[in-house]
């Protein structure tokens, strides 16, 4: 899996489940493989710094396949309870079988150097001196992402350690109970999970393969972060100026989780949802997610969808850096760069403007991102208020019972406070 991620820019969460099935791994073996694979991806910056120190050369000078073995070995030494002797021996044996005795000796030497210090001692020896850089190194994040989190926390930047620690740990699996089919209480009983804290449809699972659960197989439930559920619910709760005629739109629908929740809620009142997704393969995922629901899927660019204006409610869950969901995508933090933000901000602004044109006077747009990064969140909303004359609602009122989401009028969720992805949402109403 590490090789697929390194060589092909593959997504770990797509590659690993297929490999586990192919190799017939289950139970504790599957759990260990998952921990090693995801953990090595997540901890890359820390691991590479220790490997470079132990090898006495930059990691760019180490062959890629050998580097995969070293990353697995150092991860076991620094971030698991696996004994040092076992971690070194298995890594050396793997290198010997793959590359021969010479490379095995190199792996042995590097790992023995790595084992000479505790994780805390390595942080002390290699971390930058500045506070943000040190925390970023300790919790295996690029410095620019740690700084983005600190900026978004604002006056509460002292919580940065908690954010990074939550982002660096294994998250619970969140399920959504489809309204009208099953309640969260029933879903929790059937799955052995626990009802969610914030969304009336959320259930938490400690682990396992949710795809094997009967409610998921039957389409009565799906995997969806509770933060994403709250974003969709905020749209349905926002107060319109005038009646709700039942025309709702999800302008950035792929892969379909929010469209499915909106569709299930719309079905209760006899409403309909349009879902727009530009990529054909992702549009097919949306169709599968919304089967049997009053949702019409359109393969189109949200900036020029060709849809008829007059929508009551529009969700713009815009493409973003995904910094708020790094705990669920272990390799993503090392692929994103600050340069990605500039291009995405332009797209986010254009999508919000397009939604505004499709919205009826008195209707509401909810803009959301799975990122707390200020240029993608409050800056986009402030620009829309100034440029479009939008009336910004207090989004906190659309999340009843959810505490500590910021000073408003937008709402910011955090993994360390809410156990969700770091979702941002803001509700904008179009004046008559």
Question: Annotated catalytic sites, by residue?
Answer: 370
- Token pair, residue 113, equals 């150097």
Query: Does an H or E element contain 315, and which?
Result: strand 311-317
Write out the two tokens for 403. Answer: 């505490």
User: Which tokens belong to 206?
Assistant: 């400690």
As a whole number of angstroms, the distance between CA 176 and CA 258 comes to: 10
Residue 194 corresponds to which tokens in the numbers above? 């626990």
Residues forming beta bridges with residue 391, ordered by sequence position: 429
- DSSP conformation letters of 177-213: EPTTT--HHHHHHHHT-EE-SS-TTEEEE-SS-GGGS
Contact 208, 173 (CB under 8 A): yes
Phi then psi dihedrals of residue 294, to 5 deg: -80, 65
**Bridge partners, residue 297, by sequence:** 275
Other CB atoms within 10 A of residue 153 CB: 18
Q: How far apart are CA 76 and CA 200, in angstroms?
A: 39
- CA 347, CA 226: separation in Å to the nearest integer? 25
**Do 12 and 20 contact (CB within 8 A), yes or no?**
no
Half-sphere exposure (Cβ direction) of 290: Cα atoms closer than 13 Å: 33
**247 exposure class (CB count in 10 Å sphere: 0-12, 13-18, 19+):** buried
DSSP assignment, residue 293?
Answer: S
Dist. CA 89–CA 94, nearest whole Å: 9
Please give the Cα distance from 80 to 120 (Å, whole number): 14
Gap between the Cα atoms of 46 and 30, Å rounded: 24
Q: Alpha-carbon distance 281 to 311, whole Å?
A: 26
Q: Say if residues 376 and 345 touch (Cβ distance below 8 Å).
A: yes
Tell me whether strands 411-412 and 311-317 are parallel, antiparallel or unpaired.
unpaired
């Amino acid at each position: 899996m590490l090789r697929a991620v390194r060589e092909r820019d593959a997504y770990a969460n797509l590659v690993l489940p297929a490999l586990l099935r192919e190799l017939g791994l289950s139970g504790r073996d599957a759990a260990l493989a998952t921990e090693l694979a995801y953990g090595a991806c997540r901890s890359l910056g820390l691991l590479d710094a220790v490997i470079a120190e132990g090898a006495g050369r930059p990691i760019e000078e180490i062959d890629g396949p050998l580097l995969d073995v070293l990353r697995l070995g150092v991860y076991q030494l620094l971030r698991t309870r696996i004994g040092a002797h076992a971690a070194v021996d298995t890594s050396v044996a793997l290198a010997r079988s793959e590359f021969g005795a010479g490379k095995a000796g190199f792996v042995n030497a590097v790992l023995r150097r790595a084992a000479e210090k505790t994780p805390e001692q390595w942080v002390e020896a290699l971390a930058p001196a500045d506070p943000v850089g040190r925390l970023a190194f300790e919790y295996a994040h690029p410095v620019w992402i740690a700084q983005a989190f600190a900026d978004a926390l604002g006056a509460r930047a002292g919580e940065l350690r908690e954010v990074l620690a939550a982002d660096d740990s294994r998250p619970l699996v969140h399920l959504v109970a489809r309204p009208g089919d099953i309640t969260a209480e029933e879903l929790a009983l059937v799955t052995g999970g626990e009802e969610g804290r914030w969304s009336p449809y959320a259930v938490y699972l400690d682990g396992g393969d949710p795809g094997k659960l009967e409610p998921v197989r039957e389409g009565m439930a799906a995997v969806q972060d509770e933060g994403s559920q709250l974003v969709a619910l905020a749209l349905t709760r926002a107060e319109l100026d005038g009646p709700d005629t039942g025309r709702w739109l999800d302008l950035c629908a792929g892969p379909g989780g929010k469209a499915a929740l909106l569709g299930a809620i719309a079905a209760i009142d006899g409403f309909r949802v349009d879902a727009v997704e530009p990529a054909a393969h992702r549009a097919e995922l949306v169709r599968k997610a919304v089967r049997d629901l009053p949702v019409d899927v359109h393969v189109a660019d949200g900036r020029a969808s060709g849809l008829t204006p007059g929508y009551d409610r529009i969700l713009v869950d815009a493409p973003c850096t995904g910094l708020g969901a790094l705990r669920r995508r272990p390799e993503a933090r090392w692929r994103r760069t600050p340069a990605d933000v500039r291009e995405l901000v332009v797209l986010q602004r254009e999508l919000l403007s397009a939604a505004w044109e499709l919205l009826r006077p008195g209707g509401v747009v909810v803009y959301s991102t799975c990122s707390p990064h200020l240029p993608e969140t409050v800056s986009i909303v402030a620009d829309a208020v100034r440029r479009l004359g939008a009336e910004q609602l207090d989004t906190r009122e659309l999340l009843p019972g959810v505490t500590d989401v910021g000073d408003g009028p937008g709402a910011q969720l955090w993994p360390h406070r809410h156990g969700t992805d770091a979702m941002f949402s803001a509700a904008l109403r179009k004046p008559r």
